[in-house]
Amino acid sequence: MGLRRAVLLGAAVVSAGIIAAGAAQAQNEQFIPGLVYRTGAYAPNGIPFADGAADYVAMLNARDGGINGVKLLFEECETGYATDRGVECYERLKGKGPTGAAYFSPLSTGITFALTEKAPGDKIPLLTMGYGRSDSRNGEVFTWNFPLLGTYWTAANVAIQYIAKEQGGFDKLKGKKIALLYHDSPYGKEPIPALEAMSKKYGFEFLPIPVPAPGSEQKSQWLQIRQQRPDYVLLWGWGVMNSAAVTEAGNVNYPRDKMIGVWWSGAEPDVIPAGDKGAGYKALMLQHPAGKAPVYADLEKYVISQGKSLAKPDEIGSVLYNRGLINSMLGTEAIRTAMAKFGNKPMTGEQVRWGFEHLNLTAERIKQLGFEGMIGPLKVTCADHEGARLSRVHQWDGKQWKVISDWFTADDSILDPLVKDVSGKYAAEKKITARDCSKES
Amino acid sequence: MGFFLEVLIGGLLAGVLYSLVALGFVLIFKASGVFNFAQGAMVLTAGLALVRALDVFEQWHWPFGLALLSAFVFAAVIMAIIAWMVERLVLRKLVNQEDIILFMATIGITFFLEGLAQTLFGADVYPLNVGLPKDPIFLLESLFDGGILVNELDIWAAVAAGLLVAGLALFFQRTRIGRALRAVADDHAAAQSVGIPLNQIWFIVWLVAGLVALVAGAVWGSKLGVQFSLSLLALKALPVLILGGFTSVPGAIIGGLIIGAGEKLAEVFLGPSMGGGIEIWFAYVVALLFLLFRPQGLFGERIIERV
Amino acid sequence: MLYREAGQFKASYQADQAIFPVAQDRLVMLALLIVAFLVVPFVTSEYVYRAVLIPTVILSLAAIGLNVLMGYCGQVSLGSGAFMGVGAYAAYNLGVHLPFLNPFVCILLSGFVAAAVGLVFGIPSLRIKGFYLAVATLAAQFFGDWAFLRIKWITNYTPSGSVNAPPLQILGWDLSSPTANYLVSLIFTVVLALGVKNIVRGHIGRQWMAIRDMDIAAEIIGVRPMYAKLTAFAVSSFLIGVAGALWAFVYLGSWEPAAFDINRSFQLMFMVIIGGLGSILGSVLGAIFIIVIPIFLNQALPPLGALVGWRISTATVSHFEAMIFGALIVFFLVVEPHGLARLWSIAKEKLRLWPFPH
C-alpha cells in the first residue's frame, strides 16, 4: 500500500507541476520554436547549429531586451532528425506564445517536406536556410517556404563551376567523371536533377552513388569509387556519414582535395574524427566561413561570459555554430522587418512571412548587425525566396578551414528552367494556383 | 580480378568485425537462452566508457600505455556493473518466462543503456586511438594495377577476433565455469537442481559478453569513431547469427565471413544494376535462404521439439 | 456490487455467444464509443488530436494487426513497418494512377495489396520458427526500406523520393480538418477491430491459436499449418497495410520511406507486448501507452528539473525519455508479462467481488 500511495502522490505532484508550468504565459513575448537534434546519428552536426541559434536569441534578449521591446521566447524541441517527431514538435509548438510560432526552422529536408504541407494551412513560414526543396525558391508557388542564402541546386551548380575553374574552363569538363556520394534520403537526392542537367550540358559523366542512412559504413561505396576512379567526388552527406566518408577516402587513398562537400558536409565534426586523413578536403560554404565575426564581441559579453551559452568552448567560432547564429539572425531580422510595418508587438506567422518576403539586408545593415565578412547582401522578393545565390569553397588543412576561392554566382540560365518545371509540377499535383508576383506589392 | 580480390578480402575482414559483435549475442544465448538485443547498446556503452576515460587520462598526461590500460580497466568495470544490474534487476525477476518476454526485456535494456551511456558520456563523435594502425596497405602491386587495398586496422581486428574466439572456445570447453554455462543454456531448472548457482552464472556470462562488447567497441570505435550508430551494429550482426547458428562460437566467425564477403561482393557487383544500397537486405536474404535449408543455422544445435 | 452477472439469463445461443455477454461490459463499451465519437470532437484541442488521438487510433489498428500475427498465431514479426509502408505506397499509387477513386477506397484496397505482400513474406514461416523467424522478417523490413527508396515507380518517379497524399474528401466534402481526420481513422479502426474480434473467435482464430500453442500437435489433429500461418500473415498484413495507408494519408500528409523504418516495427512490437499478446483490447491499451508516455515525459521532465533548479537540455530530456521508457518496459514485463490487458482482466475480476474481499 505504501508504494502505491507514494506512486500516486508522485503522479499528483508531477501533474501539478506541469499544469503550473503551462499556466504561466507572458503576453508581450514573441515565441520562436527551435527544432533541434541533440541525439541520434546526426547529433554531432545538429548540436553546434542549435547552440548558435539559441545563443543569438539569448544575446538579443540580454543586450536589446528582445526586438523593439518585445522579448523573445525561444524553446527547443528534440526531433532526432526523424520526420514524425518533427511533425509532433511542430504541432505542439505552433500555437505557443501570444501570437503563435514566428517561424519554424526544421534543419532537416525530410521534416521540411512534411511541414511544407502543413505550414500554409497554419500560416507559419518555414525558414529553410541552405536546405529544403530546391524548387521552393519559387515564391509564386511556395508562398511559405524561404530557402534563404542557397538551395541545393545552387550548391550543385557552384560545385561544377569550381571544378570547371580548376580544370581550366567548362569545355575541359567534357569526358570527365564526377561522382555524387549522397545520403539516401530526400536531402541527398535533391541535387541529382541539377547535376543531371549539367552533365548533359557540359558533357561530363555523372555517377550517383547512394549511401544507406545513417551512412557510418561506406566501404563498398569507396571500393566502387576506387575502381571507377572519378575525377571528383561530391559529398552530400550529413551527420556521421560525412566523417565516415572522409575517413574511408583516406583508407582507399582517394585524393582528399578532389572531394568537394556541400555546405552541410563542410564543418569541423565532419573532418576532425578523420584525424590527419581529413587534410585537403574541400567543401562549399553557405557564404560564411568559420571564425569570429564582429558580433562575437556582444556574444562574448552578454552570453558566453555570463555562462548562458549552451555551447562548449571549442564549438564557438566553428562553422555550424556560425550558421546557427546566422539562422537566428535572419529569422529575427524578418520579425523586425515585419514589426516595421505592423507595429512593435508580437508578430503572427502571417506577418513574419511578410517580413521574410520583404527582407532586404544591405551591406550596411549586415555591418550594423556585426555579420560583416559572414554573409553578403540578401534581398528576398515575392518571386525569389532564396535571396542570394553565392557561394565559395574552403579547405580543411588539418587544423582549420581556409577559404580558397573567390565568390561564385549560381548560373540561373540552367537553374531557372528546372525550378519552373519542378515547382510547376508540384503546383499541379497539389492544385495550388501560383501567385502572380508582378501584381503584388 | 584484382578488384574482385580486393572486394573479397575487404568483405571477409568486415565480416570478422561483424562477428566480433555477434560473439556477444552467441555467448549470452548459449548460456542463458536469452536473445540479447542490447548487445549493440553494450558495444556503444563500452566504447563510450573507453574513449572518455582515455581522453581524461590523456588530459592528465599519463603515458599512453598506462592510460590505455586504465581506460580498458575502467570500461571493464562499467560493463561489470551493468552485468550485475541486469542480472539483479531483470534476469532474476524474469526467470522461467517465455523467450519473447526476455527478448523484449533486452530491448528495454537497450533503450535504457543508450540513454544512460549518452547521458553519462556524451552524444558526440569521439575519435578513438587505441594504438592500432589505420593505414591502408597495398598488396601485390606488381601483379595487379593499383594493388589490392587492405586496411591494417581490419587485419588487426581479425587477429583480435581470432584470439577472442580461441580464448572463448577454451573457456567453454575446458573450464568448470564454461561447463556450468553450457549446462545452464541447456536447462535452467535442471542446472539449478544440480547446484549450479544461476545468478552467478548469469552475471559471469553477461560480464564476458560485456568484455567482448568492449573489444568490439574498441575496434569499431577506432574505425568509425565512437558514436551513437555503433549501437546499430547489432542489426548488422543478426544475419551473421542466423547463418552461424545462435549457439555456436565458430559459427559466428564463419557466418561473419560469409555474410561480410557476400554483402560487399553483392553491393559492388550487383548493386549498381539495382541502384545501389542493397547491402543490408542482401545479408538478411542470404541468411534467410540458408535458414530455409538449415533452420538452425550452419553450426547451431538442432532444434528438437517435443510435443 | 456493480459488476454482477446475477439475473442476466441468456435465452438464445446468439445471446450466449455475444462478444460482451455481461450487460455492464456492453454499457461501458457503448459509453466509450459515444464518448469517442460524440464527446471528444467537442472538447479536444488540435494539438491533442494531432499528437495523441490520431496516432493512437491509427497505430492501435496496426497493433491489432500485429497482435493477430504475434499474439494469436504466435509468429514473431519484425517487418511490420515495411508492411505499413507497402499499404501507404499502394494507396498512393492507386490514388495516382486511378485518380477517380476516392482516397478512402484507395486505403481499403491498399490493404489487399499489403495482404498479398504479407503472404509472400510469410512463406518462410512455414519452415522457420521463433527468433529465427523474427530475424527473417527483418529481411522483409530492410528490403522494404530499400525498395521504397530505390524502385522509382513506387514513388511515381519523384526526384526527392518524398510523396504527398491526395487531399482527403468524400463526395466533395472536405475531410482535412483534425476532427474529421480523427473520426475517419476511428471509424476504420472500430469497424476493422470488430471484424478481427469476430474472426479470432471463429474457426480460423482457433486454428491460429492452436498453431501458436503447439503447432505439431495442431497439425496432428488436422489444422493445416500452411493455411493457418499464411492466413494469419494475410489478415495481419491487411490490417497493418490499411493502418499504414491511414498513417500516411491522414497523419503525415507527406512522407518519405524513413517513416516506415525499423523503429516503426519496434514501436508496434512494443505496443503489442506491453498491451498484451492475444488481446484486441491489449493492442489499443499498448498503443495508448507507447504514444502517450514519451509525450508525457517530454512535458513533465523540464518542469520537474526546474523544480530542483536544474535546466535540462533537450538532449538530456531525450536520453532520460529513452532510459525511463526502457525501464518502464522492463518494469511492465516483470510485473505483468501478459501485458496491460491482463491487468485489466484482473481488475475486472476484482471488480466482480467488490466491495467484498472474497
CATH number of the domain at B224, please: 1.10.3470
Q: What is the pTM of this model?
A: 0.88
Radius of gyration of chain C (CA): 21
- Domain count of the fold of chain B: 1
- Domain count of the fold of chain A: 2
Q: Is the confidence at residue B151, as pLDDT, over 50?
A: yes
Q: Is the confidence at residue A22, as pLDDT, over 50?
A: no
Domain assignment present for residue B149? The answer is yes
pLDDT, tens only, C4-44: 888 889 899 988 888 888 888 899 999 999 999 999 888 88
Domain assignment present for residue B305? The answer is no
Say whether both A321 and A424 belong to one domain: yes
**Which residues of chain C does A213 touch, with a Cβ-Cβ cutoff of 8 Å?**
258
Say whether both A51 and A116 belong to one domain: yes
Residue numbers of the domain that contains C109:
46-258
Q: Do B107 and C316 touch (CB under 8 A)?
A: no
**Which residues of chain A does B126 touch, with a Cβ-Cβ cutoff of 8 Å?**
273
Arithmetic mean of pLDDT, A208-232: 87
Q: What is the pLDDT of residue A23?
A: 42
Greater confidence (A47 vs B296) lies with: A47
Q: What is the pLDDT of residue A1?
A: 47
A78 Cβ under 8 Å from any chain C Cβ: yes
CA distance C148 to B281: 13
Closest CA in chain A for residue B115: A39
Q: Is the confidence at residue A129, as pLDDT, over 80?
A: yes
Arithmetic mean of pLDDT, C272-285: 91
Between B94, B242, B307, which is nearest C334 by CB? B94
Q: What is the pLDDT of residue A309?
A: 82
pLDDT, tens only, C160-218: 778 888 888 888 788 888 899 999 999 999 999 999 999 999 999 999 999 999 888 99
Q: Do A113 and C146 touch (CB under 8 A)?
A: no
Q: Is the confidence at residue C127, as pLDDT, over 90?
A: no
The DSSP symbol for C180 reads: H
A240 Cβ under 8 Å from any chain B Cβ: yes
- Chain A, window 302-331: residues with a beta carbon less than 8 angstroms from a chain C beta carbon: 310
Mean pLDDT check: name the lowest of A292-296, B13-17, B138-142, B182-186: B138-142
**Which residues of chain C does B277 touch, with a Cβ-Cβ cutoff of 8 Å?**
146, 149-150
Q: What is the pLDDT of residue C176?
A: 81
Q: Do C136 and B291 touch (CB under 8 A)?
A: yes
A262-to-A183, A287, C149, C291 alpha-carbon distances in Å: 12, 12, 22, 37
Q: What is the pLDDT of residue C287?
A: 95
Domain assignment present for residue A16? The answer is no
**Which residues of chain C does A76 touch, with a Cβ-Cβ cutoff of 8 Å?**
313-314
Q: Is the confidence at residue A6, as pLDDT, over 70?
A: no
What confidence tier does A20 reach under pLDDT thresholds 50, 70, 90?
very low
CA distance A14 to chain B (A): 22
The DSSP symbol for A135 reads: G
Q: Is the confidence at residue A315, as pLDDT, over 90?
A: no
Q: What is the pLDDT of residue A15?
A: 55
Domain assignment present for residue A18? The answer is no
Closest CA in chain A for residue C319: A39
Q: Is the confidence at residue B229, as pLDDT, over 80?
A: no
**Which residues of chain C does B109 touch, with a Cβ-Cβ cutoff of 8 Å?**
326, 330
Q: Is the confidence at residue B77, as pLDDT, over 90?
A: yes
- Do B91 and B200 meet the contact criterion of CB atoms below 8 Å apart? no
* Helical segments of chain C, H only: 13-16, 23-34, 40-43, 46-48, 54-67, 80-97, 103-122, 130-150, 178-200, 203-213, 215-220, 225-246, 262-275, 280-307, 314-335, 339-353
pLDDT, tens only, B252-286: 888 999 999 998 888 888 888 887 778 888 888 88
Beta-bridge partner residues of A30: A72
Domain assignment present for residue C209? The answer is yes
Closest CA in chain B for residue C127: B292
Arithmetic mean of pLDDT, A396-411: 89
Domain assignment present for residue C224? The answer is yes
Say whether both A136 and A178 belong to one domain: no
What confidence tier does A11 reach under pLDDT thresholds 50, 70, 90?
low
The DSSP symbol for A103 reads: -
- Do A284 and A234 meet the contact criterion of CB atoms below 8 Å apart? no
Q: Is the confidence at residue C116, as pLDDT, over 70?
A: yes
CA distance A77 to A93: 8
Q: What is the pLDDT of residue C281?
A: 93
Q: What is the pLDDT of residue A9?
A: 63
Closest CA in chain C for residue A46: C315
Q: Do A83 and C252 touch (CB under 8 A)?
A: yes
Say whether both A43 and A117 belong to one domain: yes
Between B97, B115, B242, which is nearest C322 by CB? B115
Between B242, B296, B307, which is nearest C135 by CB? B242
With a pLDDT cut of 90, the percent of chain A lying above it is 33
- Domain count of the fold of chain C: 1
What confidence tier does B35 reach under pLDDT thresholds 50, 70, 90?
confident
Between A21, A88, A113, which is nearest C254 by CB? A113
Q: What is the pLDDT of residue C22?
A: 87
Residue found under cell 500528409: C253
Say whether both A251 and A310 belong to one domain: no
Say whether both A130 and A71 belong to one domain: yes
- Do A168 and A385 meet the contact criterion of CB atoms below 8 Å apart? no
Q: Is the confidence at residue B137, as pLDDT, over 80?
A: no
**Which residues of chain A does B14 touch, with a Cβ-Cβ cutoff of 8 Å?**
217, 219
CA distance A350 to A338: 9
Q: Do A113 and C318 touch (CB under 8 A)?
A: no
With a pLDDT cut of 70, the percent of chain A lying above it is 93
Residue numbers of the domain that contains A339:
26-151+290-388+420-439
The CATH number given to whatever domain includes residue A405 is: 3.40.50.2300
Between B228, B236, B279, which is nearest A40 by CB? B228
C131 Cβ under 8 Å from any chain B Cβ: yes
What confidence tier does A153 reach under pLDDT thresholds 50, 70, 90?
very high
Say whether both A266 and A314 belong to one domain: no
C322 Cβ under 8 Å from any chain B Cβ: yes
Say whether both A47 and A194 belong to one domain: no
pLDDT, tens only, C44-103: 888 888 888 999 999 999 999 999 999 999 888 999 999 999 999 999 999 989 988 889
Domain assignment present for residue B253? The answer is yes
User: ipTM > 0.90?
Assistant: no
B239 Cβ under 8 Å from any chain C Cβ: yes
Q: Which of B35, B96, B112 to mutate to test the interface with C (most CBs of C within 10 A)?
A: B112
- Do C311 and C299 meet the contact criterion of CB atoms below 8 Å apart? no
Domain assignment present for residue B286? The answer is yes
Q: Do B119 and C323 touch (CB under 8 A)?
A: yes
The DSSP symbol for C99 reads: T
- Do B299 and B251 meet the contact criterion of CB atoms below 8 Å apart? yes
> For C261, left (φ over 0), alpha (ψ -120 to 50), or beta?
beta
Domain assignment present for residue A158? The answer is yes
End-to-end CA separation in angstroms for chain B:
53
- Collect all residues with Cβ–Cβ distance below 8 Å to C295 and sequence separation of at least 6: A88, C51, C52
pLDDT, tens only, C222-264: 999 999 999 999 999 999 999 999 999 998 888 888 889 888 9
Q: What is the pLDDT of residue A56?
A: 92
Geometric angle at alpha carbon A50, from A360 and A423, rounded to 5°: 50
Residue numbers of the domain that contains B73:
2-293
